[in-house]
Amino acid sequence: MTESLPTNAYFRVSRANFDPSRFEEVDAMNKRTSEYLIPAVQQLPGLIHFYAGVSPDGSATHVSIWDSEEHAKQLDHLKEMVVDARAEAEAAGVTFTPIVNYPINWTI
């Protein structure tokens, strides 16, 4: 069953890398930051879904789906994300790649 999304929906991909030997530290940090990120992100208009994961191979990602590019870009200015969580991640040895917002062209 295909979910119905707004025609101007976007997904946002934030990727990061870290030394795999620090997996437990990064995984714990990811879970800890979720305690304040979840309520902050849930308050933003336009959020459809949000997923976060940390791999033992040394990478982490946040993927979120938004009803518009404008709403996806809200995370660029969310203090809990760009100041608080970023500082905790960098302290755990995480380095970030540029964030990309993609228009959704098709779904299954």
The answer to whether the predicted template modeling score (pTM) of the entire model surpasses 0.85 is yes
With bands split at pLDDT 50, 70 and 90, how would you rate the model's confidence at 53?
Answer: very high
Distance of CA 24 to the CA centre of its chain: 19
And the tokens for 39? 């309520």
pLDDT at 52 over 90: yes
All structural domains of the chain = 20-103 (3.30.70)
- The helix or strand, by DSSP H or E, that contains position 32, with its residue range, turns out to be helix 23-42
pLDDT given for residue 1 in this prediction: 54
Selection from 22, 38, 41 nearest residue 91 by Cα: 22
Do the beta carbons of residue 94 and residue 55 sit within 8 Å? no
Side chain identity at residue 5, one-letter code: L
With bands split at pLDDT 50, 70 and 90, how would you rate the model's confidence at 108?
Answer: confident
